[in-house]
C-alpha cells in the first residue's frame, strides 16, 4: 500500500541525506601522541604553560581516575572506548592574535561561514560576544574590551589560567570535584580548554555571552571545562552551541561545566547541542558524556539550565543544581531529540538544601527512527530544606513505532513540608495533524518542524531570541525524513 | 477543472467508491448529498490525497493534471482546499505561524517572495472580516480549545486566506447553530468567483438554503445515483433518502452524470 512505500522512500532518502554541517575544515593541528599517561598529562600542562597547582590537580585527578570503573547504569548502549587509543591534546598550529579578523586562519573563518555564524556579523549585528572554541583552543574572543570595562572576565580557560590563576584555584572543582564520577575525573586530568566567565559583585552583564564549540580533528577527545562565577547581585546569560563535521571514528566528549551563583545572583545557561549523531545506521557520531552542575550558593540566587539536544550518537548528561542558599531557585528546561539510532539518557538533579527553595523541571523528549530517549531525574529535599517546592513535567513525543521513550523519575523527600509534583505524558505525532498541514500546502518536513516546535514551545521560549531561531531550525533539520 | 472518471476506492480491502463520476467546471457550485456511509467523506479525502485509501482504478484530472500523481501538499499549493469535517488541534502552533507558513509555501511554489510580517498581518485582518472571526482565535494555537463552531469558521477563514481554485467542504455544516451556519455560508458565497469552484458535501439540505448550488448530486453506495438542480435537494429534504435507495436498487446499473 501507498503509505508503506512512501515510508520506504523516506527512509532511503534519509539514509542518503548528508549531515548538514558535515564538512571538515583542514586546519593544521598540533597533536599529542595517542594514549593517556602521566607523561601525556605533563605534556599537556607544559604545552599550555600552566601554573604548578594546575598540573597537580590534573595528576591527582588522573590517579583517582585509574581507580575508577566506567559506569554502565545509563539506558544507553555503545562500543567500549579504548582510552589509550585517543589523542588527548590537539591545538590549531597557527594561533592567531586576536586583534583583527584578518589575522584569523582563513580556513577557520570559512568554517564559521559554513555554520552561518560569521564573526564579523556576530560583532556588528547581534551584539553577542563570541568566544569560539575549535579543537579545544580558543582562537577568537570578541567584545572583551566592553566587558572589561565592567570588570567582567569572559575568556578561554587557558587564558584565565594565565591571567587569573587565583580565581581558578579558588573555584575550580568546588562544584564538580574530580572525584565526582569517571568522566569528571578523566576531564579533570586531561581537559584542554574551555571558557571562563566571572561577573563581579552587582554587575549585570549587558550582553548574552556565547561560545561556539566545534570538534574538528579526527579521533580527538574533546575535554572542555567551563567555569562561571556570578558574584553577589550579579546577572549573566550564557549560551553555548555546537555542530560537528562527519567523522568515522567515535568521538568522545566529556565536558565539565561548573556554575556558582552567590547571594542574589542569577545565571541563565542555555545550550544548543548538535553534534554529529552518526550516520543512518548509527555508525560514528559523538559520545557526549558531560557533567554539568551549578550551585546556588547564596540566598535568593537563581540558576536556570535550558538545553536543546539534537546531536550525538550517545548523550549522557544531567545538568543539575544544588540549591544551598535559602529562597534560591533552580530551573531546568530541556528538549532532547533523538532520531535514527541515537540514544539519549538525560535529565536533571535538583538537590534542595536551603529553606524555601524551589525548582521547576520541564523536559520534552522527542524520539524518531530507531532511537531511544530517556528522561532521568532526581528531586531531593534535605531534612533542613523546609517548604521546598518542585514541579516537574516530563513529556515524550514519539514519531513512528520503532523508537522508545522512557522516564525514570526519582524523588527523595527529606522533610514533611516539601511539595513535589510530577507530571508525565507520552503522545504520538498524529497522521491527522500531518495531513492537516499537508492539505494547507505545507510539505512533510515543514509540517513535522511546525508540530514539533509547537510541542517544544514551552522550552524554546526560554532561550535567548537569536538562539531560539537557530534551535527551531535545528529541530526541523534533526527530524528530516523521520515520518513516512 | 475537476474530472473524476470511474473512480474505485477501497480501504483495507473494503470497497467504498464504486465507479464514481463527477465533472466540476470553473464558476460552479456542486452539492454532494447522501446518507451516512455512502462515501462522501472518503471522496473528499481521496481528492485531497489522504494515503490511507487505495485507489483501485479510475482517473482524476485537476486543471488538466493527473491529480492522483500529485502529493497532497502539491495539490494544496495548486489551489485545492479541503474544509475538514473534524479539524484537528495542533498544540503550541499559533494560527499566525501556521497560516504564515502555509501562505509562504504556496508563494514559494509560484516563485513569489514570502510575505513580510506587515503584509501578512494586513492580509490577515482583511480575511478575518469575511468570516467574522475574532482576533483571539488567530492568536491561539491551531484549533486548540476552539468550540465546534469556531473550528468550522476557522476552516472558512483559512479558505479565504489561501484563495483556492477548488474548495471541497466536507460537512462543514455539521454541528453548527444557525448563526454559525450563516457565517460559514456567507464566507463561501463571498469567495465565489467565475474562475473558482466549490464542492459542498452535506448530509442536510439546510446549508443549501444559504449556499445555492448549481448542481446537486446524490451519492449512494459509492456512486452518484441521481443528479439535478437545487430542487433535488429540497425533494430529498422532504422525502428523505429512502426513495433514492429504492430507485438505486431497482436500476442497479444506473449511473448518473450531470
Nearest CA in chain A to B79: A441
Beta carbons of A450 and B97 less than 8 Å apart: yes
Collect all residues of chain A within an 8 Å Cβ-Cβ radius of residue B141.
454
Nearest CA in chain A to B10: A1
Residue tagged 591571567 (cell numbers):
A163
Chain B: residues touching A (Cβ < 8 Å): 48-52, 54, 71-73, 75-77, 81-82, 84, 87-88, 90-93, 97-98, 101-102, 105-106, 109, 141-142, 158, 162
- Any idea where the domains of chain B sit in the sequence? 2-250
Give the minimum alpha-carbon distance from B20 to chain A in angstroms, rounded to a whole number: 21
Give mean pLDDT, residues B113-132.
88
Collect all residues of chain A within an 8 Å Cβ-Cβ radius of residue B54.
1-2
User: Do the domain assignments include residue A9?
Assistant: no
pLDDT of A98 reads 41
**Is the pLDDT reported for residue B177 higher than 60?**
yes
pLDDT of A17 reads 45
Give the minimum alpha-carbon distance from A394 to chain B in angstroms, rounded to a whole number: 16
Residues A60, A194: Cα–Cα separation, whole Å: 20
User: How many contacts does A have with B, using Cβ atoms within 8 A?
Assistant: 79
pLDDT of A141 reads 47
Mutate to test the interface with B, among A439, A450, A483 (most CBs of B within 10 A): A439
Mutate to test the interface with A, among B13, B70, B88, B107 (most CBs of A within 10 A): B88
Beta carbons of B88 and A432 less than 8 Å apart: yes
Give the minimum alpha-carbon distance from B186 to chain A in angstroms, rounded to a whole number: 22
Instruction: Give domain B2-250's CATH architecture.
Output: 3-Layer(aba) Sandwich (3.40)
More confident residue, A172 or A240: A172
Of A76-80, A334-338, B77-81, B180-184, highest mean pLDDT: B77-81
Beta carbons of B76 and A440 less than 8 Å apart: yes
pLDDT of A286 reads 81
Question: What is the Cα A389 distance to its own chain's centre?
Answer: 26
Beta carbons of B52 and A3 less than 8 Å apart: yes
Band (A31; pLDDT cuts 50, 70, 90): confident
Of A14-18, A313-317, A463-467, A480-484, highest mean pLDDT: A313-317
Band (A112; pLDDT cuts 50, 70, 90): low
pLDDT of B250 reads 52
Nearest CA in chain A to B71: A438
Mutate to test the interface with A, among B46, B50, B81, B143 (most CBs of A within 10 A): B50
pLDDT of A109 reads 56
pLDDT of B185 reads 87
Q: Which residue of A1, A3, A438 is in closest CB contact with B72?
A: A438
Question: What is the Cα B244 distance to its own chain's centre?
Answer: 24
**Is the pLDDT reported for residue A484 higher than 60?**
no
Share of chain A above pLDDT 70, in %: 76
ipTM reported for the complex, 2 dp: 0.93
Beta carbons of B52 and A431 less than 8 Å apart: yes
pLDDT of A283 reads 73
User: Do the domain assignments include residue A225?
Assistant: yes
pLDDT of B17 reads 95
User: What are the pLDDT digits (tens) for A191-224?
Assistant: 988 889 999 999 999 888 876 544 444 444 578 8
User: Do the domain assignments include residue A13?
Assistant: no
Give mean pLDDT, residues A428-448.
91
Give me chain A's average pLDDT, please: 80
pLDDT of B241 reads 81
User: What are the pLDDT digits (tens) for B19-53?
Assistant: 999 999 999 999 999 888 899 999 999 999 998 99
Nearest CA in chain B to A456: B92
Residues B175, A323: Cα–Cα separation, whole Å: 53
pLDDT of B39 reads 92
Q: Which residue of B71, B88, B141 is in closest CB contact with A436?
A: B88
Residue tagged 473494503 (cell numbers):
B14
Nearest CA in chain A to B94: A454
Nearest CA in chain A to B84: A436
Q: Which three cell numbers stand for residue A436?
A: 492537516
Give mean pLDDT, residues A126-142.
44
Residues A378, A382: Cα–Cα separation, whole Å: 13
Give the minimum alpha-carbon distance from B77 to chain A in angstroms, rounded to a whole number: 5
More confident residue, A262 or B235: A262
pLDDT of A131 reads 52
Those residues whose C-beta lies under 8 Å from the C-beta of residue B126, and which sit 6 or more positions away, are none
Q: Which three cell numbers stand for residue B191?
A: 469567495
Q: What is the 3-state secondary structure (H, E, C) of chain A?
A: CHHHHHHHHHHHHHHHCCCCCCCCCCCCEEECCECCCHHHHHHHHHHCCCCHHHHHHHHHHHHHHHCCCCCCCCCCCCCCCCHHHCECCEEECCCCCCCCHHHCCHHHHHHHHHHCCCHHHHHHHHCCEEEEEECCEEEEECCHHHHHHCCCEEEEHHHHHHHCHHHHHHHCCCCCCCCCCHHHHHHHHHCCEEEEEEECCCCECCCCEEEEEECCCCCECECEEEEEEECCCCEEEEEEEEECCCCCCCEEECCEEEEEECCCCEEEEEEEEECCCCCCCCCCCEEEEEEEEEEECCCCCEEEEEEEECCCCEEEECCEEEECCCCCEEEEEEEEEECCCCEEEEEEEEEECCCCCEEEEEEEEEECCCCEEEEEEEEEECCCCCCCEEEEEEEEEECCCCCEEEEEEEEEECCCCCEEEEEEEEEECCHHHHHHHHHCCCCHHHHHHHHHHHHCHHHHCCCCHHHHHHHHHHHHHHCCCCCC
Give the minimum alpha-carbon distance from B177 to chain A in angstroms, rounded to a whole number: 24
Nearest CA in chain A to B162: A440
Number of domains in chain A: 1
Count of positions (residues) in chain B = 258
Residues A272, A463: Cα–Cα separation, whole Å: 9
pLDDT of A234 reads 98
Give the minimum alpha-carbon distance from B98 to chain A in angstroms, rounded to a whole number: 8
Beta carbons of B92 and A439 less than 8 Å apart: no
pLDDT of A319 reads 93
Mutate to test the interface with A, among B13, B68, B90, B160 (most CBs of A within 10 A): B90
User: Do the domain assignments include residue A20?
Assistant: no
pLDDT of A102 reads 56
pLDDT of A113 reads 57
Beta carbons of A441 and B106 less than 8 Å apart: yes
Give the minimum alpha-carbon distance from A391 to chain B in angstroms, rounded to a whole number: 21
Contact indicator for A181, A71 with CB cutoff of 8 Å: yes
Beta carbons of A450 and B90 less than 8 Å apart: yes
Give mean pLDDT, residues B232-244.
82
pLDDT of A2 reads 43
Band (A147; pLDDT cuts 50, 70, 90): confident
Contact indicator for B195, B27 with CB cutoff of 8 Å: yes
**Is the pLDDT reported for residue B231 higher than 60?**
yes
pLDDT of A246 reads 44
Band (B200; pLDDT cuts 50, 70, 90): very high
Beta carbons of A453 and B51 less than 8 Å apart: no
Beta carbons of B73 and A438 less than 8 Å apart: yes
Residue tagged 531570541 (cell numbers):
A465
Beta carbons of A450 and B109 less than 8 Å apart: no
pLDDT of A353 reads 97
Beta carbons of A442 and B101 less than 8 Å apart: yes
Collect all residues of chain B within an 8 Å Cβ-Cβ radius of residue A438.
49, 71-73, 76
Collect all residues of chain B within an 8 Å Cβ-Cβ radius of residue A456.
92
Q: Which residue of A1, A440, A454 is in closest CB contact with B162?
A: A440
Mutate to test the interface with A, among B54, B99, B105, B168 (most CBs of A within 10 A): B105
Domain that holds residue A268: 29-478
**Is the pLDDT reported for residue A120 higher than 70?**
no
pLDDT of A212 reads 52
User: Do the domain assignments include residue A252?
Assistant: yes
Band (A47; pLDDT cuts 50, 70, 90): confident
User: Do the domain assignments include residue A12?
Assistant: no
Beta carbons of B92 and A456 less than 8 Å apart: yes
Beta carbons of A440 and B93 less than 8 Å apart: no
**Is the pLDDT reported for residue A434 higher than 60?**
yes
Amino acid at each position: 500500500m501507498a503509505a508503506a512505500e512512501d515510508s520506504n522512500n523516506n527512509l532511503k532518502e534519509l539514509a542518503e541525506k548528508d549531515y548538514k554541517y558535515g564538512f571538515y575544515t583542514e586546519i593544521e593541528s598540533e597533536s599529542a601522541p595517542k594514549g593517556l599517561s602521566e607523561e601525556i598529562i605533563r605534556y599537556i600542562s607544559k604545552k599550555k604553560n600552566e601554573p604548578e597547582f594546575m598540573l597537580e590537580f590534573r595528576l591527582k585527578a588522573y590517579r583517582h581516575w585509574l581507580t575508577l570503573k566506567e559506569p554502565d547504569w545509563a539506558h544507553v548502549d555503545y562500543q567500549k572506548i579504548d582510552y589509550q587509543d585517543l589523542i588527548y591534546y590537539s591545538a590549531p598550529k597557527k594561533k592567531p592574535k586576536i586583534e583583527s579578523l584578518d589575522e584569523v586562519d582563513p580556513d577557520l573563518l570559512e568554517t564559521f561561514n559554513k555554520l552561518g555564524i560569521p564573526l564579523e556579523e556576530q560583532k556588528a549585528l547581534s551584539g553577542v560576544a563570541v568566544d569560539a572554541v575549535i579543537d579545544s583552543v580558543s582562537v577568537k574572543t570578541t567584545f572583551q574590551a566592553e566587558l572589561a570595562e565592567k570588570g567582567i572576565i569572559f575568556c578561554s580557560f587557558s587564558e584565565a589560567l594565565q591571567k587569573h590563576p587565583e580565581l581558578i584555584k579558588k573555584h575550580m572543582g568546588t562544584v564538580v570535584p574530580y572525584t565526582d564520577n569517571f568522566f569528571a575525573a578523566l576531564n579533570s586530568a586531561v581537559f584542554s580548554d574551555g571558557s571562563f566567565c566571572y561577573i563581579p559583585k552587582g554587575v549585570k552583564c549587558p550582553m548574552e555571552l556565547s561560545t561556539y564549540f566545534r570538534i574538528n580533528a579526527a579521533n580527538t577527545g574533546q575535554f572542555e571545562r567551563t567555569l562561571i562565577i556570578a558574584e553577589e547581585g550579579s546577572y549573566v546569560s550564557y549560551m553555548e552551541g555546537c555542530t560537528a563535521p562527519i567523522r568515522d571514528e567515535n568521538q568522545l566528549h566529556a565536558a565539565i561545566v561548573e556554575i556558582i551563583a552567590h547571594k542574589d545572583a542569577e545565571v541563565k545557561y542555555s545550550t544548543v547541542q548538535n553534534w554529529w549523531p552518526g550516520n543512518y545506521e548509527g555508525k560514528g557520531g559523538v559520545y557526549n558524556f558531560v557533567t554539568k552542575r551549578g550551585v546556588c550558593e547564596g540566598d535568593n540566587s537563581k540558576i536556570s539550565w535550558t538545553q536543546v539536544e539534537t546531536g550525538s550518537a550517545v548523550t549522557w548528561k544531567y545538568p543539575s543544581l544544588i540549591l544551598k542558599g535559602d529562597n534560591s531557585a533552580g530551573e531546568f528546561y530541556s528538549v532532547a531529540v533523538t532520531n535514527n539510532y541515537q540514544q539519549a539518557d538525560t535529565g536533571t538533579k535538583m538537590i534542595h538544601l536551603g529553606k524555601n527553595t524551589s525548582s521547576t523541571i520541564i523536559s520534552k523528549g522527542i524520539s524518531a527512527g530507531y532511537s531511544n530517549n530517556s528522561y532521568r531525574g532526581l528531586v531531593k529535599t534535605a531534612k533542613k530544606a523546609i517548604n521546598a517546592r518542585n514541579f516537574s513535567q516530563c513529556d515524550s513525543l514519539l514519531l513512528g513505532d520503532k523508537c522508545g521513550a522512557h522516564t525514570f523519575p526519582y524523588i527523595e523527600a527529606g522533610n514533611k513540608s516539601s511539595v513535589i509534583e510530577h507530571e508525565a505524558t507520552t503522545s504520538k505525532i498524529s497522521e491527522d495533524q500531518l495531513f492537516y498541514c499537508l492539505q494547507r500546502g505545507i510539505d512533510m518536513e515543514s509540517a513535522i518542524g511546525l508540530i514539533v516546535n509547537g510541542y517544544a514551545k514551552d522550552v524554546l521560549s526560554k532561550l535567548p531570541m537569536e538562539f531560539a531561531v537557530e534551535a527551531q531550525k535545528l529541530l526541523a533539520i534533526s527530524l528530516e525524513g523521520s515520518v513516512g | 477543472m475537476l474530472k473524476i472518471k470511474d473512480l474505485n476506492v477501497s480501504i483495507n480491502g473494503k470497497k467504498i467508491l464504486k465507479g464514481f463520476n463527477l465533472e466540476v467546471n470553473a464558476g460552479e457550485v456542486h452539492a454532494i448529498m447522501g446518507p451516512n456511509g455512502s462515501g462522501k467523506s472518503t471522496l473528499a479525502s481521496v481528492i485531497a490525497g489522504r494515503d490511507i485509501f487505495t485507489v483501485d482504478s479510475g482517473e482524476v484530472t485537476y486543471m488538466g493534471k493527473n491529480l492522483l500523481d500529485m502529493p497532497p501538499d502539491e495539490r494544496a499549493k495548486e489551489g485545492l482546499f479541503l474544509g475538514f469535517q473534524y479539524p484537528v488541534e495542533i498544540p503550541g502552533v499559533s494560527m499566525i505561524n501556521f497560516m504564515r507558513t502555509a501562505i509562504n509555501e504556496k508563494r514559494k511554489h509560484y516563485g513569489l517572495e514570502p510575505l513580510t510580517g506587515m503584509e501578512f498581518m494586513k492580509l490577515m485582518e482583511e480575511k478575518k472580516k469575511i468570516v467574522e472571526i475574532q482576533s483571539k482565535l488567530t492568536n491561539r494555537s491551531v484549533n486548540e480549545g476552539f468550540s465546534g463552531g469556531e473550528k468550522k469558521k476557522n476552516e472558512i477563514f483559512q479558505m479565504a486566506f489561501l484563495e483556492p481554485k477548488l474548495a471541497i467542504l466536507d460537512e462543514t455544516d455539521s454541528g453548527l447553530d444557525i448563526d454559525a451556519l450563516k457565517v460559514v455560508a456567507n464566507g463561501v458565497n463571498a469567495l465565489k468567483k467565475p474562475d473558482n469552484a466549490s464542492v459542498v458535501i452535506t448530509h442536510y439540505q439546510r446549508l443549501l438554503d444559504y449556499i445555492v448550488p448549481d448542481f446537486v448530486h446524490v451519492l449512494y453506495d459509492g456512486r452518484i445515483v441521481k443528479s439535478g438542480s437545487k430542487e433535488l435537494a429540497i425533494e430529498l429534504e422532504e422525502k428523505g433518502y429512502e426513495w433514492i435507495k429504492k430507485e438505486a436498487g431497482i436500476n442497479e446499473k444506473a449511473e448518473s452524470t450531470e
